[in-house]
Amino acid sequence: MYDFAYHKPSTVADAVKLLADPDAKAVSGGHTLIPALKHRLNKPSALVDLSGIAEMKGIRRAGNAIVIGALTRHVEVADSAEVKAAIPALAYLAGHIGDVQVRNRGTIGGSVANNDPAADYPAAVLGLGATVHTSKRKIAADEFFLGMFTTALEQDEILTAVEFPIPEKAGYAKMKNPASRYVMAGVFVSKGPMGVRVAVNGAGPCVFRQAEMEKALAANWSADAVAGIRQSAEGLNSDIHGSAEYRAHLVTVMAKRAVAAAG
Amino acid sequence: MNVVAPFEGIGASVRRKEDFRFLQGRGAYTDDFNRQGQLHAWILRSPHAHARIRAVDTAKAAAMPGVVAVFTGADMARDNVGGLPCGWQIHNKDGSPMAEPPHPVLAQEKVRHVGDPVAVAIAATREQARDAAEAIVVDYEVLPAAATMEAAQKPGAPVIHDGVPNNLCYDWHIGDKAAVDAAFAGAKHVVTLDLVNNRLIPNAMEPRAALGEYDRTTGEYTLTTTSQNPHVIRLLMGANVLHIPESKLRVVAPDVGGGFGSKIYHYAEEAIVTWAAGKLARPVKWTADRSESFMSDAHGRDHVSHAELALDGNGKILGLRVSTQANMGAYLSTFAPCVPTYLYATLLAGVYTTPVIYCEVKAVFTNTVPVDAYRGAGRPEATFLLERLMDVAAQETGIDRIELRRRNFIPTDAFPYQTPVALQYDSGNYHATLDQALAAADWAGFEARRAEAAKRGKLRGIGCSTYLEACGIAPSAVVGSLGARAGLYEVGTIRVHPTGSVTVLTGAHSHGQGHETTFAQLVADKLGVPVAQVDIVHGDTAKVPFGMGTYGSRSLAVGGSAMMKAMDKIIAKGKRIAAHLMEASVDDIEFDRGTFRVAGTDRTKSLVDISVAAYVPHNYPIEELEPGLEETAFYDPKNFTYPGGCHIAEVEIDPETGKVAVVNFTAVDDVGRVINPMIVEGQVQGGVAQGIGQALLESCVYDANGQLLSGSMMDYTMPRADDLPPVGVATHTTLCTHNPLGVKGCGEVGAIGSPPAVINAVVDALRDYGVRTLDMPATPAKIWQIINGGRRMAAE
C-alpha cells in the first residue's frame, strides 16, 4: 500500500473534522478498504479509524426498533439475543456474511456506507425500511442507497447507527457467487410497520425494491404469491459467473425462499 | 528384555513427522529466509497481452528512495543472459522439430501475455521496489492479441513469435491412422464427442519466491527457491540461462507449500534474482503476491478435442480417433510440449482393449500465460475424454455403462499388456477395483436414492470413471527417444551413522507429500531402524548428490527404489563386515530388519554392531573393504507405473439454482503396494478435491483482448471445504512388477479419475433434460441454462 496518515479519533465530532480532507477515508472493519489499499487501488491521504468511537458501538432496543451502532461487528449482530428475538432474519443475515474472519472484523456501518451491490446488509436496511443515523441527520433507507458504491452520505458525514423497525415477519435468502461468496442474488422480505417490502441485492448495480412482488405479498403472504413473478433482466449485472437472465431468475427463486424462511 | 516397538515399516499409518513443524507454523519457507544486506525485487509486468516495447525509461525509478538498481531486458542481453530453456522437444508429423521460439527472462522488444516480466526494480524494501517499478515508463505499441486457440489459428491471426507460422508449435501424431480408418469403416456404432478440458490456475498455498545470493570471495551463487526439483533448476539455469558452472551454483528448495506441478519449471524470477545478486553482490529476494501468481505461474490443461469411438454390435471397441488442440500459452514452459503428447495421447487406451488408436495433437501459441503440467498432466485430459466417451457410447448403443466398460476391460490375465499407443502395462485388475467401488458406493441402491431426492425437489445422478494413468516417470532411454532432454532416474544415498541412526539423501522433493515419513518407513522396514532415528534430507544441491525432483508421482516409485537399491548395497557391505566379525562365510550371513545372523545359528550382530565396526575399524577386513557405511544408488526405472481404479461420484442438483452438490464420492485405487495408508488416503482426497474443483468450480477465463478475468480469488473458484463431500478412499493392490517396492504412485490418481466421474453424474442427473454432454466446470449458471433451455424446448 501507499503511505498515508493515520488518525484514531475518539468522538464523532473529531472524526468529522478529520474527514473534511476530501482525500481522507474513514475505516471501520477495513474488510473492503484494506484489500484495496494492499492492491494499491486506493491512495487516501489519511485513514480515519473509527474504531475508537464509543458512541458508535452497541445494540439496543428503542421502543419498536432495534438500533445497531455503526461499529457493531457482524458476529455481534448474529449472536445478539436482542436481535435474534426481535428480527431473527437480521441475525441470520449477519451470521451468513462472508466467513468467520470477515464476521469478526466487518461492521454494519462499513457495509452499509460502502453499499457494495453484492453486500448483504443493504438488503436488510432497505428490506426492513430502516433509518440510517448519521453525524448530521437521519436518512430513510429509500433515500439512502443511490447507486453502485454510492449513498446519500456526504464526504464529512459519518454513518453512526442503523435503526431497524421490528417487523411481524422477515426472511432472507441468497445465492452466493461461487468464487467470492458475495451475493449473486439475494432477497430480503418483510411485513410490518413499514408495510410489505422486498429488497433485492447482488443482482443489480445497487440494492432495489421489487414492487410487483411487494404488491403480490401484500395481497397474499406466501411463497406461491411470488413464484410466478419474473424479474426483468434489464439493467442487472452480468459477469463470468452468471448472466443478467440467470440473476433475474434467481431473484424469483430467492424471493420464494425468503418468504418461506419468514414463515 | 524384549521391548516390542510399534510396527513402523511398510503398511503402517505412521503419523507424519513433518507435521509437527507445519502445524506449529515452524516450517521454513523461502520467504522466511532473510540475509544480511538483502534487497527486494519487484517485477514490472506487462498489462497488455501483446505489445511491442518502443522504449523503457527507468531514469525516474532509479532515482527513487531506497532504489539500488533497475534492470530491463536490454541489461540482461548485454550480459548474454540466455532464454528460459524448454526441456522436451516434440517432432512434427513430417519429422521436423517443433517451433521453439526464445523465451526471454525479461522481455526483449515484445511482451506476449499479461504478466510477462518487463523490468525489475531492486530496492532496500519491497514497498520501495514496488514504488520504483510503478515509476518505470514503458512505451507500448499495443498489438492485436490472440487470447484463444481459435483466435490464434484464424487466417490473419496476430503473429505472436516471428518465424512461427499460424502460431503452431507442433503438429504431432501417434498411432496407425490407416488401421483406425479401416476399423471405423467396419463399425456398427460410431460415437463422436467434442470436449473442452478447462484451463486451470494451480494456486499452491505458498506463492512462488526466490532469494539469490552471491559470495564474492568464492564466486559461488546460491538460489533459494520454491521448487519441486532444485537440481533441475541448477542444471537449466546454470547451463542455459546464466552460464554458471554447477560447482559454483547451489540451489536450495526448503519447505515448499504445495506445487501440484506449477513449481517444477524454471521461472524467470529465479534467474532474475540470481543474476541481480551477482551484479549487485547483495542478496536479492522476490516473493510473489497472489495476483502475480495468477498471471505468472504456469497454468494447466486447456485442451479442445474431437473424439470418435468405433464399436461393434456388442459394444466392443474397434478403434479410437482423436484430434486435439493444446494451448501452450505465449512461451514454452519447461515441460509443456510433452504434456499433450506423451503424457496424454499415450494414455488413450485407458483400461480398454482398443486395438487401434490414432491421435493428432496441434499445440498452439496464444497470448496467455504459459501452460504446463498440473497435477495429472495430460492424463486427466485423456481420462476425461475416454470416460465421457464411454458414457455417451453407453447412452447411444443402449448398453449399460458399467457393462460396456466390463466388455472392454483389459483382462486380468492379459498383463503385460501392450497398447497400440506405445505403453506396456505391467499389472492391474480393473474388474476388482470396479466391483469394490460399486459395492462401496451402493451403485445398486442408487435408484431408491434418486427417487428420495426427487421428493425433495432435487435431481440426483451417479457417475463412474474407470481410469488408468502412467506415472513413476520415467525410463531415461524411453523418454530420451521421445524428446526429453534429461534422464529421469532418481538418486538416493543411505548414510548409516556410527551409532546406527540413518540419514537419507534423496533427489526427490517433498512439498506436502509426506516424504519425511514415507521414506523413513522404507528404512525402518528394510534396516530395522526406528522412524524417529531416520532423517530425510532433500531439496539442497549442496547436500544431495543429484536428483530429478518430484512430479509425475515418481518420488516413491523411482526415488524410493533408489533408496532400496542403496540399502541393498548397505546390507551387502554389512554382511561382509558381519562375516568378518563372526568368522563366518559371507554366503552364510542372513539379514532381516537390523539383524545379521549366521544362518541356522543364534550368532547375530545388530546393524549398530556393524556400523560401529565400519566407522571404528579396529577389527575389520581393512584389506578388502573400505571403512564407513554409506551407499549411493541411481535408479532408472524399467517402465512407467500404471495406477488405475474406479471413482464414483453421486451428485444432487438444485434445479432452481443449478447448483451441483457432490453428495458422495468413492475412490478405489490400485496404487501398488501401500507404504503408509493414511498418507495415501490424504493424497487421494487432495487429488479428488482438485478434480471436483476442475469439474464443478475452476475456470481460467481470458477476455478477447487477453486480459485475465479470473485473476483473483474473487473470480477464480478454488474448491473450499464446504464444496467437498466426504471422500471414501480404498485401495485394491496389484503390485508393480518392475520396481523393487511394487509401488505405483498415488499423488495424481485423485485428480485424474474424478472429473469424468463427477461430470458423468451431472449428465446422469440431467437425464430428463436431453443433455448429451457438457463442458467443465458445471457451474450453477451453466446448469441452470441447460435446465432452462430444456424446459423451453419442452414448452415450444
Q: Which residues of A touch B127 (CB under 8 A)?
A: 1
Q: How would residue B789 be classed by pLDDT, with cut points 50, 70 and 90?
A: confident
Please give the order of strands across the beta sheet that includes B502-506: B534-537, B502-506, B490-496, B630-635
**Tens digit of each residue's pLDDT (9 = 90 or more) over A167-214:** 999 999 999 999 999 999 999 999 999 999 999 999 999 999 999 999
Distance (Å) from the alpha carbon of A180 to chain B's nearest alpha carbon: 4
Comparing CB atoms, the residue among B656, B709, B781 nearest residue A243 is B781
Mean of per-residue pLDDT scores for chain A: 97
Q: CB-based burial of residue B466 (10 Å sphere; 0-12 exposed, 13-18 middle, 19+ buried)? A: buried
Question: Which of A240, A245, A251, A259 should be substituted to probe chain B, the one whose Cβ sees the most B Cβ atoms within 10 Å?
Answer: A240
pLDDT of residue B792: 44
Tell me the C-alpha distance between B666 and B592, whole Å: 38
> What is the pLDDT averaged over residues A153-164?
96
**Contact of A126 with A103, CB cutoff 8 Å:** no
Interface test with B, best of A253, A254, A257, A259 (most B CBs within 10 A): A253
Q: Considering CB atoms only, which of A39, A182, A242 is closest to B781?
A: A242
* % of residues, chain B, pLDDT over 90: 98
Average pLDDT over chain B, rounded to whole?
96
Question: Quick one: angle between helices B607-615 and B561-581, nearest 10?
Answer: 80
Q: What is the pLDDT of residue B795?
A: 39
What distance in Å separates the CA atoms of residue B345 and residue B347, rounded to the nearest whole number?
Answer: 5
| Out of B130, B781, B788, closest to residue A241 by CB | B781
- Can you read off the three cell numbers belonging to residue B177? 491412422
* Residue A1 confidence (pLDDT): 87
State how far the Cα of B606 lies from the Cα of B600, in Å rounded to an integer: 16
Mean pLDDT of B772-787: 96
* Record: contact B715-A243, CB cut-off 8 A: no
| Predicted local distance difference test score (pLDDT) of residue B92 | 98
Distance from CA of B713 to the nearest CA of A (A): 6
CA distances, B314 to each of B186, B393, B404, B420 (Å) = 13, 12, 9, 21
- Grid coordinates given for B730: 480404498
B427-471+641-796: CATH topology: Aldehyde Oxidoreductase; domain 4 (3.30.365)
Q: Give yes or no for a contact between A132 and A112, defined as CB atoms under 8 angstroms apart.
A: yes
Query: According to DSSP H, which parts of B456-514 are helical?
Result: 476-481
Alpha carbon distance B619, B642 (integer Å): 48
Query: What one-character-per-residue DSSP string does B36-91 give?
Result: TT-EEEEEEE-SSSSEEEEEEE-HHHHTSTTEEEEEEHHHHHHTTPPPPP-SB--B
Interface of A with B (CB under 8 A): 1, 39-40, 175, 178-180, 182, 239-243, 246, 249-250, 253
**All structural domains of chain A:** 1-49 (3.30.43.10), 169-262 (3.30.390.50)
Pairing of strands A46-49, A5-7: parallel
Cβ within 8 Å, pair A242-B656:
no
- Inter-chain contact A180–B715, Cβ cutoff 8 Å? yes
Query: How many residues belong to chain B?
Result: 796
CB B506 within 8 A of CB B562: yes
pLDDT for B788 beyond 90: no
Q: How far is CA A155 from the centre of its chain?
A: 19
Look at residue A91 in the predicted model and tell me its pLDDT: 98
At B281 the pLDDT is: 97
pLDDT above 70 covers a percentage of chain A that reads 100
**Has residue B521 got a pLDDT over 80?**
yes
User: Taking a C-beta distance cutoff of 8 angstroms, is the pair B497, B611 a contact?
Assistant: yes
Interface test with A, best of B45, B130, B694, B784 (most A CBs within 10 A): B784
pLDDT band at B794 (very low <50, low <70, confident <90, very high): very low
* pLDDT confidence bin for B444, thresholds 50/70/90: very high
B780 closest CA partner among B661, B677, B687, B692: B661
User: C-alpha distances in angstroms, B144 versus B52, B133, B147, B199, B368?
Assistant: 11, 25, 10, 22, 13
User: In angstroms, rounded to a whole number, what is the distance separating the alpha carbons of residues B472 and B783?
Assistant: 38
A193 prior amide bond cis, ω within 30:
no
Confidence class of residue B2 from pLDDT cuts 50, 70 and 90?
low
Domain spans, chain B: 427-471+641-796, 489-635
Tell me whether residue B552 is exposed, middle or buried, using C-beta atoms within 10 angstroms of its C-beta: 0 to 12, 13 to 18, 19 or more: buried
Looking at residues B445-456, what average pLDDT do you find? 98
Q: Which of B130, B697, B784 sits opposite A178 (nearest CB)?
A: B697
Q: Are B466 and B433 in contact (CB under 8 A)?
A: yes
pLDDT in tens, B80-103: 999 999 999 999 999 999 999 999
Omega of the bond leading into B474 within 30 degrees of 0 (cis): yes
What value does the mean pLDDT take over residues B170-193? 98
> Does position B783 have pLDDT exceeding 90, yes or no?
yes
Q: Which residue of A has its CA nearest to B787?
A: A246
What is the model's pLDDT at position B496? Answer: 98
The dotted CATH code for B489-635 is 3.30.365.10
CA distance B792 to B796: 6
Residue found by looking up cell 403472504 in the block: A221
Check residue A27 and give its pLDDT: 96
Mean pLDDT (whole number) for A86-108: 97
Indicate the pLDDT class of residue B399, thresholds 50, 70 and 90.
very high
Q: Quote ipTM for the complex.
A: 0.96
Dump strand ranges (E) for B630-715: 630-635, 644-653, 660-670
- Binary contact (A240, B710; C-beta < 8 A): yes
Q: Chain B: residue nearest A39 by CA?
A: B291
What confidence tens digit (pLDDT) does each residue in B669-724 have? 999 999 999 999 999 999 999 999 999 999 999 999 999 999 999 999 999 999 99
- Count of CA atoms in the C-beta half-sphere (13 A) of B491: 19
Band (pLDDT 50/70/90 cuts) for residue B791 is low
Residue B3 has pLDDT above 60, yes or no: no
Does pLDDT of A100 surpass 70? Answer: yes
Same fold, B427-471+641-796 and B489-635: yes
| HEC string for B141-192 | EECCCCCCHHHHHCCCCCCCCCCCHHHEEEEEEEECHHHHHHHHHCCCEEEE
Q: Is B617 a residue whose pLDDT tops 80?
A: yes
Between B379-397 and B401-408, two packed helices, what is the crossing angle to 10 degrees? 120
